[in-house]
């Protein structure tokens, strides 16, 4: 039985692998049996690794474990680098020896052991496992913004970013493209709803910082998006907010075939969600076109 764990450091250019080899049972004599490991991180000098204690043959006893940790360091300073980890495990017994490969191209575990390091996000270098697709959970304290995103995900036929129903969103890292996305969806046809608390902003979903922004899929004006607004009502001195959509008074639902949505949203909620997403982008080290899900509380 072999246990393997990869631990990355999202704020450091290093990662570790713990491996545990256990001989559960055998029908042969194990006297003189040994195991060692030859891992490959990179074929160049971009990955520095310490493989102790796996680089020397170690005795194996039935029912006992042999374990140890491999440490690796990305030596680069610019851009990003992906490492497809592969291994050769060498087992010897008195009657002979054998070698088992995994993680190599076309072999068992092909492509599953990919680690990426970069210095393109945030102030420090770091490493992640790009096969992991994170989920951005919209904070409940931004109630109407969360409802807006959840409503769009549920009502739009493409269900953008909703795991299990639609496709994930993908990061747009080029600021000029982000600006163009926002300029189309939040164009001159947008106007603040009269009872949206000031200061109000145009809130859009899918986010401008995604490849799924309406402009990227053919929208030429935000007038064709689903339209929402936050309205306020004061009762006995207490202000209550509600999220509504154009056409609700006639029993109409937002058009399912729309490719985008926008809302008249209080600034603190719009920028609050955007700020949280920006911090998560750094934490998860999302690069250009990296995918993520959005959880806005839909069941």
Note whether 20 and 155 are same-domain residues.
no
Q: Higher model confidence: residue 208 or residue 103?
A: 208
Q: What is the pTM of this model?
A: 0.89
Domain boundary, last residue among 74, 93, 128: 128
Q: Write out pLDDT tens, residues 125-139.
A: 999 999 899 999 999
pLDDT tier, 106 (very low <50, low <70, confident <90, very high otherwise): low
Note whether 141 and 113 are same-domain residues.
no
User: What is residue 69's predicted lDDT score, i.e. its pLDDT?
Assistant: 93
Note whether 96 and 43 are same-domain residues.
yes
- What is the full DSSP assignment across 245-275? ETTGGGTPPPPTT-S-EEEEEEHHHHHHHHH
Note whether 155 and 281 are same-domain residues.
yes
Q: Write out pLDDT tens, residues 161-188.
A: 999 999 999 999 999 999 999 999 999 9
Domain total for the chain? 2
pLDDT tier, 113 (very low <50, low <70, confident <90, very high otherwise): confident
Note whether 143 and 280 are same-domain residues.
yes
User: Mean pLDDT, to the nearest integer, of 17-24?
Assistant: 91
Q: Write out pLDDT tens, residues 274-295.
A: 999 999 999 999 999 999 999 9
Note whether 146 and 238 are same-domain residues.
yes
Q: Higher model confidence: residue 96 or residue 286?
A: 286
Note whether 139 and 285 are same-domain residues.
yes
Note whether 124 and 141 are same-domain residues.
no
Residue 58, pLDDT > 70, answer: yes
Note whether 164 and 203 are same-domain residues.
yes
Residue 84, pLDDT > 90, answer: no
Note whether 187 and 259 are same-domain residues.
yes
Domain boundary, last residue among 107, 128, 149: 128
pLDDT tier, 202 (very low <50, low <70, confident <90, very high otherwise): very high
The CATH number assigned to the domain holding 68 equals: 2.60.40
Note whether 180 and 247 are same-domain residues.
yes
Q: Which domain holds residue 47?
A: 2-128
User: What is residue 223's predicted lDDT score, i.e. its pLDDT?
Assistant: 97
């Amino acid at each position: 039985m072999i246990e393997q764990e990869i631990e990355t450091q999202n704020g450091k250019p290093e990662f570790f692998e713990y491996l545990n080899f256990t001989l559960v049972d055998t029908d042969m004599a194990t006297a003189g049996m040994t195991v060692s490991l030859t891992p490959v991180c990179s074929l160049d000098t971009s990955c520095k690794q310490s493989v102790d204690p796996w680089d020397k043959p170690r005795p194996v006893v039935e029912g006992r474990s042999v374990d140890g940790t491999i440490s690796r360091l990305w030596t680069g300073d610019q851009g990003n680098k992906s490492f497809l980890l592969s291994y050769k495990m060498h087992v010897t017994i008195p009657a002979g020896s054998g070698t088992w490969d995994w993680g190599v191209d076309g072999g068992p575990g092909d492509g599953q052991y990919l680690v990426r390091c970069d210095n393109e996000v945030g102030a420090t270098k770091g490493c992640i496992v790009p096969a992991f697709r994170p989920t951005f959970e919209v904070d409940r304290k931004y109630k109407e913004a969360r409802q807006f995103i959840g409503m769009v995900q549920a009502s739009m036929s493409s269900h953008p970013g909703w795991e299990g129903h639609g496709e994930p969103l993908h990061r747009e890292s080029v600021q000029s493209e982000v600006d163009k996305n926002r300029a189309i969806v939040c164009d001159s046809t947008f106007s603040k709803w009269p009872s949206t608390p000031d200061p109000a902003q145009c809130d859009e979903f899918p986010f401008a910082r995604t490849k799924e922004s309406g402009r990227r899929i053919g929208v030429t004006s935000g007038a064709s998006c689903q339209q929402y607004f936050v309205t306020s009502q004061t009762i006995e001195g207490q202000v209550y907010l509600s999220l509504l959509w154009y056409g609700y008074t006639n029993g109409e639902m937002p058009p399912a075939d729309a490719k985008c949505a926008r809302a008249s949203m209080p600034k603190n909620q719009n920028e609050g969600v955007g700020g949280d997403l920006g911090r998560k982008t750094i934490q998860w080290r999302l690069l250009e076109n990296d995918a993520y899900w959005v959880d806005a509380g839909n069941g």
